[in-house]
Amino acid sequence: MTRLVQIIHPDYGRRVALVNGDDELHLLSTFRTAYAFATAAIETGQKLRDLLSTDLSGIVLDYREVYALRSGWRFLPSFDHPDHTACCLVSGCANAHGAANGTSPAAPPWFTKGNGMHLRAHGEPLTIPAFACGGAEEAELAAIYLIGPDGVPRRVGLTPGNEFADPVMPQQDARLLSRAKLRNCAIGPELALDAEFQDVAGSVAIERAIDGIRAPVWSKEIRTGEKHTAFRLEQIEQHHFEFEPHRIPGDVHVHFLGGSVSSYGDGVILDEGDEVVIQWEGFGQPLRNPIEKEPPATHPVESL
């Protein structure tokens, strides 16, 4: 499986790298964003994996050092729109692993999570707003799409994701679901180009520092893919992209494909300093994100 990462350095700027095993990142040469490579693949008619494999710069980084955040390199979201955050729509599937009453709706229900400014990378904090009732991880895979100049969506690949949300708010009032979903979320660290959404095993854990020692306080094995979801990926894509505003050339779509478990369901309340760890087999290194709480703030509106 072809896997890539996006990283950034204060001296060298953005780079895209191919992952080789667990040890090496091979920096690519021509472009500095995965978006640019995907755009070039569309324009030339090449397979993206073939385009990447012929663009090695010869510079190899120690992946373990970069992943552990011990170097000057930091991760970016595994795919983004580098110029316009508003041109990246972040959304997700609701009830993807089966509706509460045991039946599936006629079409995959979906919700908006925001735009590119809501995306976080491996190692970056996920924040609980002061106005929120709570916050909880949702371990999922996210599908990445780039809309071609002809208005046709191209699936770039799948990436691990934490569709972070507020589970307390809609529990108190179901009408507040959209408000509870509009939160920052994380994808990465790796984007898998050739991944299939059939039967994927993984794990999710909450680590917490107790008496100065960080250890898991909750963990679970998880599964996703068409063997476990209410809808096939083809159905999800068909209904998501039937809306004309979802087919604007050049736009990026990050669509979370649904989760089945959450620590909140087992009575765990995320707190400042906790770290969420999500790993999917075949998708490389785990996605890790610390939890932070935002201080209260006001956002006044002025009249013209």
69 and 89 co-located in one domain = no
114 and 49 co-located in one domain = no
pLDDT at site 102: 59
184 and 286 co-located in one domain = yes
Domain boundary among 51, 76, 101: 76
Eight-class DSSP state of 37: H
In a domain, 8, yes or no: yes
63 and 26 co-located in one domain = yes
Total domains, the chain: 2
70 and 95 co-located in one domain = no
Spatial CB neighbours of 119, under 8 Å, sequence gap ≥ 6: 77, 80, 88, 90, 184, 185, 186, 187, 254
175: CATH: 3.90.850.10
Domain boundary among 29, 61, 76: 76
In a domain, 302, yes or no: no
299: left (phi over 0), alpha (psi -120 to 50) or beta: beta
Domain boundary among 76, 106, 123: 76
Distance of CA 240 to the CA centre of its chain: 17
pLDDT at site 103: 64
Spatial CB neighbours of 125, under 8 Å, sequence gap ≥ 6: 289, 290, 291, 292
98 and 220 co-located in one domain = yes
The answer to whether the bond into 108 is cis (omega within 30° of 0) is no
243 and 142 co-located in one domain = yes
Written as six digits, the tokens of 223 are 């599964």
State the 10-residue block means of pLDDT for the chain, 304 residues long: 97 97 96 98 96 96 97 97 94 76 74 96 97 96 98 98 96 93 97 96 96 93 94 94 97 95 95 97 98 94 95
71 and 94 co-located in one domain = no
CB 186 within 8 A of CB 78: no
88 and 223 co-located in one domain = yes
Number of helices (H), then strands (E), in the chain: 6, 18
Structural domain that includes position 52 = 1-76
56 and 93 co-located in one domain = no
